[in-house]
């Protein structure tokens, strides 16, 4: 059974995105040791990081450990911010297939 069918063998409803988001392609990710934590001598995976955008003219910025643990961002993908302020990560292929630049 394909992922696009349910147990009743009907095709699942399809949706097209029409959201506008703010996003930057990730050029580098450096784990920020100042934001890492140790609990009872065990290093946690909730270390924050500094993301350096791939596009010139944008400064590196910090993300917290919760973002890192939840989204597992990778270089080449996109840091994404939605209109409600929610921040996410999208792999490059998925982002570039679903979004086009908006003219200013």
Mean pLDDT of each 10-residue bin along the chain, 104 residues long: 63 87 97 61 68 97 92 97 96 95 83
- The residue written with tokens 């209109």 in the block is 83
Assigned domain for 62 exists: yes
- The answer to whether residue 70 sits within a structural domain is yes
Is the residue at 11 inside a domain? no
User: Do the domain assignments include residue 10?
Assistant: no
Q: What is the pLDDT of residue 14?
A: 87
In angstroms, the Cα distances linking 99 to 38, 53, 95 are 39, 18, 6
Model pLDDT, residue 50: 95
- What pLDDT, on the 0 to 100 scale, is given for residue 15? 84
Neighbours of 54 (CB within 10 A): 14
Establish if 5 belongs to a structural domain.
no
């Amino acid at each position: 059974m394909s992922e696009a069918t349910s147990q009743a063998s009907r095709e699942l409803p399809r949706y097209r995105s029409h959201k506008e988001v703010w996003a930057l392609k990730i050029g580098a990710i450096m784990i920020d040791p100042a934001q890492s934590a140790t609990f009872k001598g065990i290093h946690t995976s909730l270390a924050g990081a500094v993301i350096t955008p791939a596009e010139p003219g944008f400064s590196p910025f910090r993300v917290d450990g919760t973002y890192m643990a939840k989204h597992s961002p990778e270089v080449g993908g996109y840091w994404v911010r939605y209109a409600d302020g929610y921040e996410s990560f999208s792999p490059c292929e998925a982002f570039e297939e679903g979004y086009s630049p908006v003219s200013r």
